[in-house]
Amino acid sequence: MTRATAPVTRRPAPAPADPKARAAPPLPLLLLGLTLALLALMLVAVGVGSVSVPPDETWRVVLAQLTGGTGTDPVHTQIIWDFRVPRVLLAALAGTGLAVAGVVLQAVVANPIADPYVLGVSSGAALGAVLALSFLPLTIGWIGVSSAAFLGAVLSAGLAFLLGRRAGRLAPTRLVLSGVAIGYLFLAATSYLQLRATPGELRSVMFWMLGSVSGASWQQLPVAATVILTTTAALVLLARRLNTLLMGDESATALGVDVHRLRAVLLVLAALLTGTVIAVAGGIGFVGLVVPHLVRLSCGGDHRRLLPLAAVTGAVYLVAVDLLSRTVDRPNELPIGIFTALFGAPFFLWLLRRNTSLDAA
Amino acid sequence: MRLTVEDLCVALGGRPVLHDVTLDAGEREIVGLVGPNGSGKSTVLRAVYRSLRPERGAVRVCGDDVWRLSARQAACRTAAVLQDATGNPVGLSVSEVVAMGRTPHHGLLGRDDAGDHRAVREALAACTAGHLAAREFTSLSGGERQRVLLARALVQRPRLLVLDELTNHLDIRARFELLDLVRSTGVTTLAVLHDLDLAVRLCDRVVVLHEGEVVASGPVLETLTSALLAEVFGVAATVRRHDDGVVRVTYAADPLGTAAPTPVRG
């Protein structure tokens, strides 16, 4: 990795220290390659766990379930089909949702340090979940707690955006700092409620704060998949307009884009994505920061490429991190959020140091 | 007329900033908008590229009120090169930035076709920036950036070009290069130029704004009289055609009149 630590003084000099002309492969080829990699990784991830299942057996079980065939080992079938397949699918969906939300938020504020986690959204979700666990009757069950987490996430995002505005426009630095402040406020409330919680409730509070895909079940998947995939598709259609936001509001307006309406639409979609992911997988941090940047660094920032590539790369990333989180300390599992933070936080700091344009903002 | 601005009144945050501004620009004409800081030049431009809705009055491009057109329709007619401080196009190549100029010509499902790619190449070549196509936009020098943004504006296939301080912060050679480029496009242009010397070189006509009002307009030589420069800009200067045929601004030895016992402004 070249360290572009140009002094903050002036625009870079014209000729020599120049990034090479990008000759990235065409988008369909990249997408195909990444999707195949994702499928292969998912197959491996389904086979690995506290009980190891050989890849050919894994493949037979998955195939048998998909085609309605029989004759596979019942224990393996249960482990793979009831636990691991939904878990891996959920990891992939959550990765996609968070990566796409990150791309969108970074375009909305024309600043690469935006990320759903940085905006205090996961603290909001945790608070919503803890409130539901503490004050609502247990009969509301899993759906009720998920809905409360979703509402908390959307509420904190809305607050951050309201407080992050100056004279009707989103000011990036203000938005990020508002998000951090809201995150702490909600964390304080959550901590207070935790003191009153029973050990059982405490476990589930940890789940919402650190995030996990270990509790995945088939029932959660259809709604989450529908929301995440249709929202991503809608955003891909808006990709060209997202590009114009990077040039600044006035320039985007002069390109025929209704900036205020576009930004409102994008914020709603980003909050929807994040809220949905958090409702099923808790607050998994930094995915929306790491994945968009990896794609941007390797394939450029044009959203017509960036969005679809980040969607698939996000899935690959989170499936891989989930695999790591349950193999590092076998047979114990560590929360996935610990690993995303472990990779994400240093990446965030590296990004802050590298990105001199932030100083201007 | 390509552009007509009629009795334009604009208020920002309740404070009126433009009063009955009227101006026009004909086919292939380059009209300069000059005036001191805060006189409302950029506000006029914002009303023209449909960013600011006027309280009263109208902006017509090719005969149609821009606020009766959709944002996209208006952007198919008017392109702008602006000093946009909030922009930060990380990771975009020069040709991707220029391709943005095709945005108003496409709907949600529109994809760039061979024609769009050709338009991008041609515009870059016209702005002597063809060799920059694969470079990262944020790695360009100031002069290169402005040439690329001008190419983006041309890719919009505009009938009116709006330029806000196109040559700000650029070295002197880059300034003249850009002026030549603007003239070579042949597109009707409304330009705010801070530097009076560049304005008189580039423009066919000038419109002088002072405190939100048009105080003079017309051909450069007749309009920018010494009396007007003293009144509006507060400097002692003359604009005249030199022997080599070039119109230049000459500032007095004591342009502020501070050394003289009788200042220029009464």
Range of the domain at A273: 77-351
Q: Is residue A245 part of a domain?
A: yes
Residue A21 has pLDDT above 50, yes or no: no
C-alpha to C-alpha distance for B157 and B53, rounded to whole angstroms = 24
- Residue A361 contacts by C-beta under 8 Å, 6 or more apart in sequence? A111, A172, A173, B88
Structural domains of chain A, count? 1
DSSP β-bridge partners for residue B162: B80, B190
B136: which chain A residues are within 8 Å (Cβ-Cβ)?
Answer: 18-19, 22
A302: which chain B residues are within 8 Å (Cβ-Cβ)?
Answer: 91-93, 96
> Which band of pLDDT confidence, cut at 50, 70 and 90, is reported for residue A17?
very low
The answer to whether the Cα torsion of A256, A260, A265, A267 is positive or negative is positive
- Residue B138 contacts by C-beta under 8 Å, 6 or more apart in sequence? A12, A357, B88, B89, B90, B92
Identify whether the C-beta of residue B138 lies closer than 8 Å to the C-beta of residue B160: no
Percent of chain A with pLDDT over 70: 88
H or E element: which one contains B239? strand B237-241
Of A150, A147, A159, nearest to A120 by C-alpha is A159
- At residue A130, the pLDDT reads 81
- At residue B22, the pLDDT reads 96
Q: Which residue of B has its CA nearest to A14?
A: B141
Interface of A with B (CB under 8 A): 11-14, 18-19, 21-23, 110-112, 237-238, 240-241, 243-244, 246-251, 253-258, 296-297, 300-302, 306, 355, 357, 361
3-state secondary structure (DSSP) of residue B2 = coil
> Which band of pLDDT confidence, cut at 50, 70 and 90, is reported for residue A238?
very high
Identify whether the C-beta of residue A108 lies closer than 8 Å to the C-beta of residue A175: no
- For residue range A30-62, what is the model confidence (pLDDT) as tens digits? 999 999 999 999 999 998 877 778 878 888 888
Question: Could you tell me if B136 and B238 lie in one domain?
Answer: no
- At residue A338, the pLDDT reads 86
- At residue B26, the pLDDT reads 94
3-state secondary structure (DSSP) of residue A316 = helix
Give the distance from residue B66's alpha carbon to the nearest chain A alpha carbon, in angstroms.
11
Question: Could you tell me if B136 and B22 lie in one domain?
Answer: yes
Range of the domain at B265: 225-266
Structural domains of chain B, count? 2
Q: Which residue of B has its CA nearest to A17?
A: B139
Q: Would the CB atoms of A301 and B103 count as touching at under 8 Å? A: no
Identify whether the C-beta of residue B20 lies closer than 8 Å to the C-beta of residue B212: no
Identify whether the C-beta of residue B88 lies closer than 8 Å to the C-beta of residue A107: no
Identify whether the C-beta of residue B137 lies closer than 8 Å to the C-beta of residue B112: no
Name the token pair of B14: 């309740």
Question: Could you tell me if B129 and B163 lie in one domain?
Answer: yes
Of A291, A134, A296, A255, nearest to A201 by C-alpha is A134
B100: which chain A residues are within 8 Å (Cβ-Cβ)?
Answer: 240, 243-244, 247, 255
Window from A205-209, A322-326, B120-124 with minimum mean pLDDT: A205-209
Question: Could you tell me if B235 and B186 lie in one domain?
Answer: no
C-alpha to C-alpha distance for A341 and B105, rounded to whole angstroms = 43
Long-range contacts of B45-49 (CB under 8 A, 24+ apart): B45/B80, B45/B82, B45/B162, B45/B164, B45/B190, B45/B192, B46/A250, B47/B5, B47/B8, B47/B10, B47/B18, B48/B3, B48/B5, B48/B78, B48/B160, B48/B162, B48/B190, B49/A253, B49/A254, B49/B74, B49/B75, B49/B78, B49/B80, B49/B162
Instruction: Pick A337 or B205 by higher pLDDT.
Output: B205
- At residue A168, the pLDDT reads 67
- At residue A360, the pLDDT reads 41
Question: Could you tell me if B177 and B201 lie in one domain?
Answer: yes
Question: Could you tell me if B25 and B98 lie in one domain?
Answer: yes
Q: Is residue A337 part of a domain?
A: yes
C-alpha to C-alpha distance for A246 and A235, rounded to whole angstroms = 16
User: Would you give per-residue pLDDT tens digits along chain B (266 residues)?
Assistant: 799 999 999 998 889 999 999 999 999 999 999 999 999 999 999 999 999 999 999 999 999 999 999 999 999 999 999 987 777 888 899 999 999 999 999 988 888 889 999 999 999 999 999 999 999 999 999 999 999 999 999 999 999 999 999 998 888 998 999 999 999 999 999 999 888 989 998 999 999 999 999 999 999 999 999 999 999 999 999 999 999 988 899 998 888 877 655 555 54
- Residue A150 contacts by C-beta under 8 Å, 6 or more apart in sequence? A125, A128, A275, A276, A278, A279
C-alpha to C-alpha distance for B229 and A117, rounded to whole angstroms = 56
> Which band of pLDDT confidence, cut at 50, 70 and 90, is reported for residue A7?
very low
- For residue range A167-197, what is the model confidence (pLDDT) as tens digits? 666 676 787 788 889 989 998 998 888 787 7
CB atoms under 10 Å from CB of A186, counted, come to 24
- For residue range A122-144, what is the model confidence (pLDDT) as tens digits? 788 778 878 887 777 665 666 77
Q: Would the CB atoms of B73 and A256 count as touching at under 8 Å? A: yes
Give the distance from residue B193's alpha carbon to the nearest chain A alpha carbon, in angstroms.
18
- Residue A134 contacts by C-beta under 8 Å, 6 or more apart in sequence? A193, A196, A197, A201
Q: How many CA atoms lie within 13 A of B89 on its CB side?
A: 29
Provide the CATH number for the domain around residue B44. Answer: 3.40.50.300
Q: Is residue A16 part of a domain?
A: no
How many residue contacts between A and B have a Cβ separation below 8 Å? Answer: 127
- At residue A359, the pLDDT reads 43
A243: which chain B residues are within 8 Å (Cβ-Cβ)?
Answer: 89, 92, 96, 100, 103
- At residue A356, the pLDDT reads 53
The ipTM assigned to this model is 0.91
> Which band of pLDDT confidence, cut at 50, 70 and 90, is reported for residue A6?
very low
C-alpha to C-alpha distance for B15 and B120, rounded to whole angstroms = 41
C-alpha to C-alpha distance for A194 and A203, rounded to whole angstroms = 10
Question: Could you tell me if B201 and B266 lie in one domain?
Answer: no
> Which of B44, B81, B86, B137 best probes binding to A when mutated, by most A CB atoms within 10 angstroms?
B86
Q: Is residue A136 part of a domain?
A: yes
A102: which chain B residues are within 8 Å (Cβ-Cβ)?
Answer: none
3-state secondary structure (DSSP) of residue A344 = helix
- For residue range A304-321, what is the model confidence (pLDDT) as tens digits? 999 999 999 999 999 999
Give the distance from residue A51's alpha carbon to the nearest chain B alpha carbon, in angstroms.
44
Question: Could you tell me if B51 and B178 lie in one domain?
Answer: yes
The answer to whether the Cα torsion of A299, A305, A306, A311 is positive or negative is negative
Mean local confidence (pLDDT), A7-22: 42
For the sheet containing B160-164, what is the strand order? B78-81, B160-164, B188-192, B30-34, B205-210, B213-219
C-alpha to C-alpha distance for B71 and A107, rounded to whole angstroms = 20
Residue A15 has pLDDT above 50, yes or no: no
Mean local confidence (pLDDT), A191-218: 79
Give the distance from residue A21's alpha carbon to the nearest chain B alpha carbon, in angstroms.
5
- Residue B15 contacts by C-beta under 8 Å, 6 or more apart in sequence? none
Q: Would the CB atoms of B78 and A254 count as touching at under 8 Å? A: yes
- At residue A3, the pLDDT reads 46
Mean local confidence (pLDDT), A20-36: 80
Provide the CATH number for the domain around residue A109. Answer: 1.10.3470.10
Question: Could you tell me if B103 and B29 lie in one domain?
Answer: yes
Q: Would the CB atoms of B103 and A241 count as touching at under 8 Å? A: yes
C-alpha to C-alpha distance for A114 and A109, rounded to whole angstroms = 7
Q: Would the CB atoms of A19 and B135 count as touching at under 8 Å? A: yes
C-alpha to C-alpha distance for A304 and A288, rounded to whole angstroms = 17
Residue A18 has pLDDT above 80, yes or no: no
Q: Which residue of B has its CA nearest to A111?
A: B88
Q: Would the CB atoms of B140 and A250 count as touching at under 8 Å? A: no
Helix, strand, coil tally for chain A in percent (to 5)? 70, 0, 25
A255: which chain B residues are within 8 Å (Cβ-Cβ)?
Answer: 75, 100-101, 103-104, 156
Cis before A331? omega within 30 = yes
C-alpha to C-alpha distance for A253 and A244, rounded to whole angstroms = 9
Q: Would the CB atoms of A248 and B91 count as touching at under 8 Å? A: no
Q: Would the CB atoms of B140 and A249 count as touching at under 8 Å? A: no
Identify whether the C-beta of residue B143 lies closer than 8 Å to the C-beta of residue B178: yes
Question: Could you tell me if B9 and B46 lie in one domain?
Answer: yes
> Which of B88, B152, B168, B177 best probes binding to A when mutated, by most A CB atoms within 10 angstroms?
B88
Name the token pair of A288: 């929306």
Question: Could you tell me if B25 and B112 lie in one domain?
Answer: yes
Q: Which residue of B has its CA nearest to A13?
A: B141
Query: B233-248 in b/e burial notation, b at 16+ Cβ within 10 A?
Result: bebbbebeeeeeeebe
Q: Would the CB atoms of A256 and B80 count as touching at under 8 Å? A: no
Give the distance from residue A277's alpha carbon to the nearest chain B alpha carbon, in angstroms.
26
C-alpha to C-alpha distance for B37 and B243, rounded to whole angstroms = 32
Question: Could you tell me if B178 and B244 lie in one domain?
Answer: no
Give the distance from residue B173's alpha carbon to the nearest chain A alpha carbon, in angstroms.
15
A307: which chain B residues are within 8 Å (Cβ-Cβ)?
Answer: none
DSSP β-bridge partners for residue A122: none
Q: Which residue of B has its CA nearest to A253?
A: B51
